[in-house]
Structure 1
Amino acid sequence: MLYVILGTVKEVSIGPTSLMALFTLQICRELPIEFVVLLTFLSGCIVFVMGLLRLGFLVDLISPSVTSGFTSATAIIIVAGQVKGLIGLSFVAESVADNVYFVVSKWRDIRLADCALGAVCCTVLLLLRKLKDVQVSPKQTKLKKALWLVSISRNAIVVLAASVFAFYTHNPQKPMFKLSGLVEPGLPPLSLPPFSASLHNSTLRLQDMVLHLGSGVLMLPIVMVLANIAIAKAFSVGEKLDITQEMMTLGLCNIAGSFVHAMPTCGAFTRSAVSHSSGVRTPAAGLYSGIITLLALVFLTQYFYFIPKACLSSVLICAVIFMIDIETVLRLWRRDRMELSVLALTFVTSIALNVELAVLAGILASLALLVRRLMRPALHAAAVKTGSGEVCVVRVTQGAVYLSAELVGRRLLWAAARSAPRALLVDCTRLTLLDYTAQQVFERVIKKIKNDNQKILFYNVPVELMSQMENIEGVIKQSFRATSVQEALAVIEEKAVEANESTALMATEPGSRDNV
């Protein structure tokens, strides 16, 4: 409801998501419900403070490879956890490996009725998902809208149909399907978030509860903001997006949610996509969905008893399997396998250990890859023949900083010595960074090349690096604004003419040796 008032993106729908549910499960596993509510409150506070301090840039530390890795892993973890409901088994598992082990070891207990219902539900859900893409005549607008409405309502249709079927076939002595059972009706009580809890016959204070939550208190808010901003960006193309406002609103939503014992929430891509395709005009669209949800909690919970677990599992599985990002994997395989290794590390760590540790490992791996690339910038050298001789052109990419300055200097000297050209031209078009260490290295390179009776010029220098380049001793500043090899060589010729004129002037001065 708060997003209706404070939100800036009309399509975004704040609420529980599978990603938040999985994170919460892994952080609060085997802990009382008070820890979940406290996690919601603390996450909201952290996100709100991040918004106040304009720290949204921290989300940029999570690269698309990391996001793809943990999102795909999350989908697989959820699917693995729902297989038991799909085939009628009951057990407690903490990992994908545990789920696989228990399914294999309990295969004799698989319920055929649940399997059949789950298979039918999955098939219908996937078929209905494609219904909105059926090509119809442009004149049949009503049919197009009807197909679209049925397609986006597929979850409700399947759950309703399965529940009705379970109701009419229900036998209390020997139930055909495993059902959801009783759901307590009514709204949650309004109260302060719990700042103490009982665990193993001992009372924990706030600091003890935070220690039990561990790094999840910091990782969950970052992932929460990442998911919310990603959805907001996806649906606000061409519009101004106030990231600070979005972060503060998300924080307030979670803080308010903790007062009604809610789990951590963020923007949900599926619900937001439905809002977008429905043509919503303002965030007030969330008001209607919120009211319907509240009415369902008050008046309809008694009917939730007959919802088959196999049906719920099929709904979850069909919703999350499309989160598995195969397209990014294939693209990275063709373009950048180092980035693919970051994705793989995040994915494997998520599956083998836990998602929050995987996000941290992915961030560190991305930063390590970035540092490695800064340490090994690509330099492209080519000999260019001109009317006045041969020159060597070297293009420096990325940045020249303390991590890579010595390497760049050695390669420049190598290029100058190997081709022995009349001049070494350094194309700075793609030079993005330059620090004090690199300036010192460039000074040494200039001095060494001049001692070898050669010249070195830097051209195509970006405007933002002009002042730093001008501080380099011995550099020819006139070439900075040159945009081509010919313009840079013209600077050399101008300097040569100036030098000749200066020599001639000195030779004709009274008192010179020629006039004695």
Structure 2
Amino acid sequence: MEGDGRAARWRRVLERRLPVLSWARRYDRMTALADFVAGITLGLTLVPQSIAYATLADLPVQYGLYSAFMGTILYTFLGTIKEVSIGPTSLMALLTLHTCHNLSVEYMQLLTFLSGIIVTLMGIFRLGILVELISAPVTSGFTSGTAMIIVVSQLKGLLGLSFVAESVSENLRLIAAKWEHVRRADCLLGAVCIAVLLTLRKIKDIKISPKNRRLRKTVWLVSISRNAIVVITASVIAYCLHPSGVGDAFNHISNTTDTVSTPRANATEPIFKLSGRVHGGLPTLSLPAFSVYEGNTTVNFGGMTAKLGSSIILVPIVMVLANVAIAKAFSGSRPMDAMQEMVALGVCNVCGALVSAMPTCGAFTRSAVSHSSGVRTPAAGLYSGAISLLALAFLTEYFYFIPKATLSAVLICAVVFMIDVQTALKLWRQSRPDLAVLVLTCVVSVLWSVEMAVLVGALANVALLLWACARPCTETTRLKVCGGECVQVRPHAALLYLNAERFASVVALAADAAPALPVLVDCSRLQLLDYSASQVVKRMNESFAAREQRLVFYNVTSELAKKLDNVVCVVHATSAEEAFAPILPSETSHPEVSPLLA
């Protein structure tokens, strides 16, 4: 019996750490069919998004696809939320761009590897609480700021310009400097792609009779496959309009590495700026480089990590923040194992680094597609990952013809709705200080850096918290009870070194207004008291004793009573009548409350 119990415990532990074991036994044909449909649908979203996110990170297109299959496949075995899809995201691409700009691909691979290790350790040691230090206003401001940065960074693609810039100001400056080189064909194509993407996004909301199920399914499929439809259509147009002619277009690919970058079009230049030649085939499996040869020197592991800087810490935190938020949103009433989710995310990134993937995490857009597709289990990731592998193996030569304006349109339409106007409006009505934190975080993201935005926002939140603690709400009333009269003081939440002196001054003012009456401190709302505050209370008690006025604390929890022992008079009472009775026993009467100093 003891052996059976031990085996059962090990089985439960194994199922928690390898969740595929818990649902694989119940996997049937209908579930497999539902996951197949959801996986194929997700793949049609994942592939064009991955190509666009690689462009955003200033990486060759194939690196987006390298990042698209490992996470989705591994999450099938390690993940707990069926809707989550691990892969490249706009946020991770932007952080990669800011961290690895002007650095070789080896740095990006090392960033992914180290981020995965840190996230895995956070899960093993249950350090997810660190993410809770980042409040909702900071997250909203950070997300909105990064969305604005991405939109501005993609304007160059819509205008047919080629340059690399990190900040919003640098992007706008270079656009102004190169304005005379704007390509009208790319502008027109980008505008049309944006219009089509936004239109297809809304058609799923058209009300169609429930009787016409086939039409409803068709409209829904077209809507969620809009990225693939637009990218394929634009690529076909670019292929047909290629100046080398349809028959010679692929011969042209083998003779060039990218589109011609001269300012003005000529007879042999494509009408649109194209993605250029893409390295085909599957990636090789290898550990990330822990040293690189640059110029005439070798940069060791320490030098590489120094160049990656604070992003080694920031990227994992943002990964966990995004993934846990998505997991919570789609877990519904089901319990969410945050530890397992972090371990799964970390392992996906560690293994992704072995195939040269950029940092990856979950994405709300892909999770929403999976949810609306009727996904049943995480096995849908196997099919979407397979589509990414097939694209790498057989379709890379066609990626040459994807117009850059189309990829910019896909990115803009994907992130523009991340600008969180609704939260800002809600905070305007409910909490102006939190709105200030949101705006500050967003402004720092746009004008300074996304790395500093999280730090500044978190520090601003701490400052607000300290300010609130330093200015506590303390109620003072004059209370008639038991035939006598007293002054009642009710502190809120906490007495700490930040606010103890202010509390003492409030109590002293109330006592001075009624020097003949005892002061009763109701601690029913007091949850925290530190050593500094207890010493202030001790000095208050000595001051009251010197002028022969009673100071009594009541409604005190057992934990606070220990801290106030030998500091002040504590009465074990739950009401003012009980606390006042030992001081001046008399006939009982109903209490009358009136504001003090009214």
| TM-score of the two chains, using structure 1 as the length reference | 0.89
Report what 1:263 is aligned to. Answer: 358
Alignment of 1:412 with 2:507, yes or no, is yes
Q: Distance in 2 between matches of 1:421 and 1:131?
A: 76
Cα distance in 1 for residues equivalent to 2:516 and 2:222 = 72
Pick from 62, 65, 72: which aligns with 2:144? 72
Q: In structure 2, what is the Cα distance between the partners aligned to 1:278 and 1:459?
A: 59
2:567 maps to 1:473: yes
CA distance in 1, matches of 2:400, 2:559: 68
Aligned to 2:125: 53
Q: How many residues are aligned here?
A: 492
Letter in 1 for 2:193: C
Instruction: Indicate the SS of the match to 1:266.
Output: coil
CA deviation profile, 1:148-177 (whole Å, cap 9, x unmatched): 222211111111222222222222324221
**Cα deviation, residue 454, structure 1:** 4.6
State the Cα distance separating 1:95 from its structure 2 match.
1.1
**Whole-angstrom CA distance in 2 between matches of 1:456 and 1:335:** 38
C-alpha distance 384-176 of structure 1, shift in aligned 2 (>3 A): farther
Structure 1 counterpart of 2:443: 348
Residue 205 in structure 1 maps to residue 205 in structure 2:
no
Q: 1:416 offset after TM fit, Å? A: 2.6
Query: Which residue is equivalent to 1:330?
Result: 425
Moved more, 371-380 or 384-393: 384-393
Deviation of 1:390 after TM superposition, in Å, equals: 5.0
State which drifts further: 235-244 or 168-177: 168-177
CA-CA distance at 1:16 after TM superposition: 0.7
Distance in 2, matches of 1:412 and 1:136, equals 67
Unpaired stretches in structure 2, ≥5 consecutive residues: 1-72, 245-267, 587-598
The residue identity in structure 1 corresponding to 2:177 is: S
Can you list the C-alpha shifts for 1:378-422, whole angstroms capped at 9, x where unaligned? 223344555745544433223111222222222122223235584
Of 370-379 and 72-81, more deviation after overlay is shown by: 370-379
1:92 and 2:187 are equivalent in the alignment: no
Separation in 1, partners of 2:198, 2:519: 62
CA distance in 2, matches of 1:293, 1:95: 31
Give 4+ residue runs of structure 1 displaced > 6 Å after superposition.
none
Q: Which of 215, 219, 241 is matched with 2:336 structurally?
A: 241
Quote the offset at 1:216 in angstroms. 1.1
| Structure 1 counterpart SS, 2:572 | helix
Q: CA deviation at 1:267?
A: 1.1
Measured in 1, the distance between the counterparts of 2:372 and 2:518 equals 61
Query: Following TM superposition, by how much is the alpha carbon of 1:80 offset from its aligned partner in structure 2, in angstroms?
Result: 0.8
5 Å-filtered alignment, 1:234-313, equals 234-313=329-408
Q: Percent identity?
A: 55
TM-score of the superposition, structure 2-length normalised? Answer: 0.78
Contact 2:555 2:572 survives alignment (8 Å): no
Q: Quick check: 1:491 aligned with 2:579?
A: yes
1:166 aligns with 2:238: yes
Q: Distance in 1 between matches of 2:566 and 2:324?
A: 42
Tell me, yes or no, if the aligned pair for 2:528 and 2:560 is still in contact at 8 Å: no
Q: Are the structure 2 counterparts of residues 331 and 170 from structure 1 closer, same or farther at C-alpha, using a change threshold of 3 Å?
A: same
Residue matched to 1:375: 470
SS at match of 2:206: coil
C-alpha deviation, 1:316, in angstroms:
0.2
Aligned equivalent of 2:110 = 38
Closer, same or farther: CA 460–14 of 1 in aligned 2, 3 Å: farther
Q: 2:288 aligns with which of 193, 199, 209?
A: 193
The unaligned stretches of length 5 or more in structure 1 are 499-516
Separation of aligned partners in 2, 1:405 and 1:229: 37
Q: Distance in 2 between matches of 1:451 and 1:139?
A: 86
2:80 aligned residue: 8
Q: Which amino acid aligns with 2:317?
A: I
8 A Cα contact 1:434 1:465, kept in partner: no
Mean Cα displacement is larger for which, 441-450 or 321-330?
441-450
2:434 alignment counterpart: 339
Structure 1 residues 165 and 193, CA gap change in structure 2 (3 angstroms): same
CA contact (8 A) 1:440 1:472 kept: no
Instruction: Quote the RMSD (CA, aligned, Å).
Output: 2.3
